Every structure is written in structure tokens, then in C-alpha cells.
Amino acid sequence: MTPKRETPRAIEERGTVKVKYARFFWPVLRWMVLIAALCAFIPTLAGLLDEKGRWEPGWGWGGFVLASFTLVAMNLKPDTLPAIKGEGTASQLRSPNWSLVSYLVIVGLGFNWVCAFLWFSRRYAFFSTPVIAMTGLIMALYAAIALLVARFTGGNWRTPLIVFGIVSSALAGIVLRLGLLR
């Protein structure tokens, strides 16, 4: 009688056992950093709107910058598919990280709202109709730019979404930092 030959089992090293909920760790951490960045964004906006007419970064500026860079750094890691038959790696087509996109849109909206408020030289209240209408008009202009980018990139919606977020945040941030509306 010959013994049956068993297939060897894979040996797992100690400490490499996968936790059931490990796949939720990074998304939850991204959203926590997003919330921290947005909480620090409010005092940063208040520093932009001080009564002295100059930009006072305030206590939230450091937390806002740190959380912003952390959020961007966490989202820069590209997901790749494994190499198939020696063809190298292919970038995985997926939607952008929504924590980064929502962060860019919210920060862009806040910066543009401050730009619209300063454009009217503080004659109107912060939540008045002219300020809200001007902010909507500015955001519609950024959306038109994103749709133009979508048209030129062949209808891919991922690129215009990132363009909309970056343009709305960057341009208003530059205008505010240079003090063009003071």
C-alpha cells in the first residue's frame, strides 16, 4: 500500500494574518484626515477675512497645511495591476479618490466665496445674494473649463473632475495669497 501524496499547504508567517476589516483602514484614515483638514480650514478662512485688511494665518493654518499635504500624499500612491505575461504593469482605471476630490471642491468653494466677498469690498454680508451669486458664477466658470477639458480628452470624466478641483482651489488661493482683492 502506497501512502497518498498530499499537496503541501502554504505556511503563513506569524504576524501576517490578514484582519477581516483591514481593507477599511485606509479609506477611514483618509476621511479622518479630510475632516481634520476641513476643520482647520475654517480658522484659515477667518484669518483671510480679518478686519485689518491683511492676511493673518491664525492658529488653523499649520493644521490645514499639514492635513492637506497628508491627504495629498496618501492619495498619490497609484494602484497597479500585476504584470501579465511580461507586459509590465498597467495603471488601474478607477475613479479618483473621493476624499481628495471632495476636499479640493470644498476648499475651492471656500476660497472662491472669500474672493467674491472681498470683490465687493465687504459692502455686503458674507451670506448675501450678490456674494452667493458671484461664487456660483465663478464655480460655473470652473465647471465650463472642466467640461472643455473633458471634450479635449475624449470624454474621460476623471481628468476634468481633478482639473475642476485643482483649478478652483489653486486660482482662488493664488489670488488671496497675493492680496489682489484687498
pLDDT tens column, 2-55:
767 777 666 555 555 556 666 778 778 888 888 888 888 888 777 777 666 556
CB 159 within 8 A of CB 165: no
Residue 29's CB is within 10 A of a number of other CB atoms, namely 14
pLDDT tens column, 127-160:
889 989 999 999 999 989 888 888 888 877 777 8
| pTM (2 d.p.) | 0.70
pLDDT tens column, 80-113:
544 455 454 444 445 567 777 888 888 889 889 8
Whose cell is 476624499? That residue is 99
From the DSSP assignment, how many helices (H) and strands (E) are in the chain?
5, 0
